[in-house]
Structure 1
Amino acid sequence: MASDHAKMPVLESTLTCPACGHQETAIMPTDACLFFHDCSACGALLKPKPGDCCVFCSYGSVPCPPVQLQGRGCCSG
């Protein structure tokens, strides 16, 4: 087994709802952006902040995998 940990993105991120402060851990997709997320506590619809590519980059404890690996947004063209 090769030790390739430096190139492996973290796939688990804790989202914090800006409306109520509720935190929940989610697994980030590696092949798609998550533009919307419903807070399981208050029902608020989380959307990316201007300049962010997804809800993980805006409200997560860890940015999305493309940002981790490439330093840029996964959906910015």
Structure 2
Amino acid sequence: MQLQSTLTCPHCAHAETLEMPENACVVVHLCAGCGARLTPKIGDCCVFCSYGDVPCPPVQRARDCCGAPMDEGL
């Protein structure tokens, strides 16, 4: 299980490595480079899944962010 992910801002390309919570999604992140408000892309549960180099811990465990198994057919 990886608990760090490097987020890259789609607006300014600023990258920062952050600790991810193990049991929650981060749905809003403010870019330290340009101040842009990052939110998940449609279909993603959190900013780490959308803009990070490592998906969030629930997704790494093949669970959704509420702890339920993810539908493998999607």
Normalised-by-shorter TM-score class: 0.7 to 0.9
Which residue is 1:12 aligned to?
4
SS at match of 1:66: helix
- Runs of 4+ aligned structure 1 residues displaced above 2 Å come to none
Q: Which has the higher helix share?
A: 1
Contact 1:53/1:76, CA 8 A, preserved across alignment: no
Unpaired runs of at least 5, structure 1: 1-8
Report which of the two structures shows the higher radius of gyration computed on alpha carbons.
1
Q: Distance in 1 between matches of 2:33 and 2:4?
A: 19
Which residue is 2:72 aligned to?
none
Q: Among all aligned residue pairs of Structure 1 and Structure 2, give the percentage whose two residues are the same amino acid.
A: 63
Unpaired runs of at least 5, structure 2: 69-74
Query: Could you give the per-residue CA deviations for residues 32-51 of structure 1, whole angstroms, max 9, x where no partner exists?
Result: 11000000010000000000
Contact 1:52/1:73, CA 8 A, preserved across alignment: no
75 and 44 in structure 1: CA distance in 2 versus 1, 3 angstrom threshold? farther
TM-score when normalising by structure 2: 0.85
Q: Distance in 2 between matches of 1:58 and 1:74?
A: 14
TM-score when normalising by structure 1: 0.82
Q: Distance in 1 between matches of 2:39 and 2:9?
A: 10
